[in-house]
Amino acid sequence: MPKALLLENIHPFAAASLRDHGFEVETRKGALGEDELIEALEGVDLLGVRSKTTVSRRVIDARPSLSAVGCFCIGTNQVDLDYAAKHGIAVFNAPYSNTRSVVELVICDIICLLRRIPAHTHHMRHGLWDKSASGSHEVRGKTLGIIGYGNIGSQLSVLAEALGMRVVFYDIEEKLAMGNAQRCDTLNELLEQSDAVTLHVDGRKSNTGFFGEDQFEHMKQGAIFINLSRGFVADLDALKRHLDSGHLSGAAVDVFPVEPKKSGDPFTTDLADEDNMILTPHIGGSTLEAQESIGHFVSQRLEDYWENGSTMLSVNLPQLTLHACRSKARIAHLHDNLPGVLARVNRVLGEENINISAQSLGTEGEIGYVVTDVAQMPSDDTLKALSSLDGTIRMRVIS
C-alpha cells in the first residue's frame, strides 16, 4: 500500500481522498524541521506540506524514493524545485484556490486601516473613548496601488474598483488591465500617487528585500502599506521607522521573514506597539472554503500523478495530461532532455516485440518525460534495460 504524509493541518478532505485512492495516510498538525522530516519520510511516497516545511536538497538526497510533493498553498519556494525535478520528484501546488480569500482580507485591511479601526480598538480596550473623525477616511475615491498584477492582484483590482477606488498597478511583465485599472511604467510612479499600497509578488529569490527604505520613502504622506505576499519581500524595520515618523498612517502585515513552525508557538515583532497596525499570522488564504478547495485540488493532482502519470499543472516537470491507462501497463520514464531518448525507449520495447498502444512525450528545460502504454507487461529484463538507459532519472510502471 502506498503511503502519504500530510503536514501542517492540511484540510481533512485531502487525507480522506487519498485514503479513498488506496493510500495509507499519516497526518501531523505542525511543520517539521529537516531532521524530523527525513525521519518521518521513511517509506513515504507522497508528501503534503504548506508553507512552513522546507523540502531541501538534504531531504531529497536522504529519501530518494519520494515520488511527489504537494504544496497545499500558492507558493512553492519551500521546495527546491530544480533539485526535485532532477531526482524525479514531481511538485504540485494550488495557484488559484485561495485567491478570493486573500483578496477579501486585503479589502478588509484597507477599510479597517483607512477608518483607523485598529487604533480605535486599542483605545477602547484601554478605557479611552476617542469619538473622532480625525484621520478616518472612506475608501471611495482613494487610489489603490497594486504591486504584482497576477491572479490575486488582478482580482483585487476588480473588487477595489467596485468599492469606488481608483486602481493603479505595477508589474515587471505585460498584464492586461482589468476594468479601469491603469498600469504604471515605474514603481515610484505608483508609490507617489497611491493612498494604499499592497504587495502581491511571487516568491522568487530576486524579490528578497524588494521593498525597502527607498520604496517607503517614495510613498505618499499618510498612505497605508499592506503585505500579504512573502515575508522576505519587505523591510519591516524600515516600515516601522516610517510609521513612527508619521509618514505612513497605518499598515497590515500577514507574512514575516521568520515565522513559527506551528500554531501556538511564541512570536514577537517590533511592529506590535504601532497604533494603527493589523498583524495577522499568515492567514491570508486561510479560510475554510479556501482550505477545502486546496485540499481537493492538490490531492487530485497527486492522485492523478500516482495513478496515471499525469503531470498536468506540475510546477517542475514537463506537463502531460493523461487519463487512465486502458492498456496492460503504462511506463513513465523521466529523463535528462537528451536527443534520441524516445527512440531508445521504443527500441528496447521492440526487442521484446511489445506493441505500443499510445505514447506521449513532453520536454521542459533539462527534463524530458515520456509515457508509453503497452499491450503486454514487459519482462523484468526489459524494465531493467529501460531504467538503465543513459539519462534516466526515474522509471516506474503503472498498471
* Phi and psi angles of residue 154, each rounded to the nearest 5 degrees, phi first: -70, -40
Is 282 part of the annotated catalytic residue set? Answer: yes
Q: How far apart are CA 333 and CA 371, in angstroms?
A: 6
Is 50 part of the annotated catalytic residue set? Answer: no
Q: How far apart are CA 223 and CA 196, in angstroms?
A: 6
The residue ranges of every structural domain in the chain are 1-97+287-317, 99-279, 318-399
What pLDDT, in 10s, does the model give residues 137-194?
999 999 999 999 999 999 999 999 999 999 999 999 999 999 999 999 999 999 999 9
Q: How far apart are CA 68 and CA 46, in angstroms?
A: 5
User: Which entry of 282, 333, 335, 344 is annotated as an active-site residue?
Assistant: 282
Can you list the residues of the chain whose pLDDT is less than 50? none
* Residues 213, 235 contacting (CB under 8 angstroms): yes
The domain at 99-279 falls in which architecture? 3-Layer(aba) Sandwich (3.40)
What pLDDT, in 10s, does the model give residues 220-242?
999 999 999 999 999 999 999 99
User: Which entry of 11, 230, 301, 335 is annotated as an active-site residue?
Assistant: 230
**147 DSSP β-pair partners:** 170, 199
| pLDDT for residue 292 | 95
| pLDDT for residue 390 | 95
* Residues 240, 271 contacting (CB under 8 angstroms): yes
User: Which entry of 161, 259, 292, 307 is annotated as an active-site residue?
Assistant: 259
Q: State the pTM of this model.
A: 0.83
Q: How far apart are CA 137 and CA 146, in angstroms?
A: 19
Coil vs helix vs strand at 39: helix
Q: Which fold has domain 1-97+287-317?
A: Rossmann fold (3.40.50)
Grid cell in block for residue 326: 486502458
CATH number of this structure's domain 318-399? 3.30.70.260
What pLDDT, in 10s, does the model give residues 50-81?
989 999 999 999 999 999 999 999 889 899 99
| pLDDT for residue 94 | 94
Same CATH topology for 99-279 and 318-399: the answer is: no
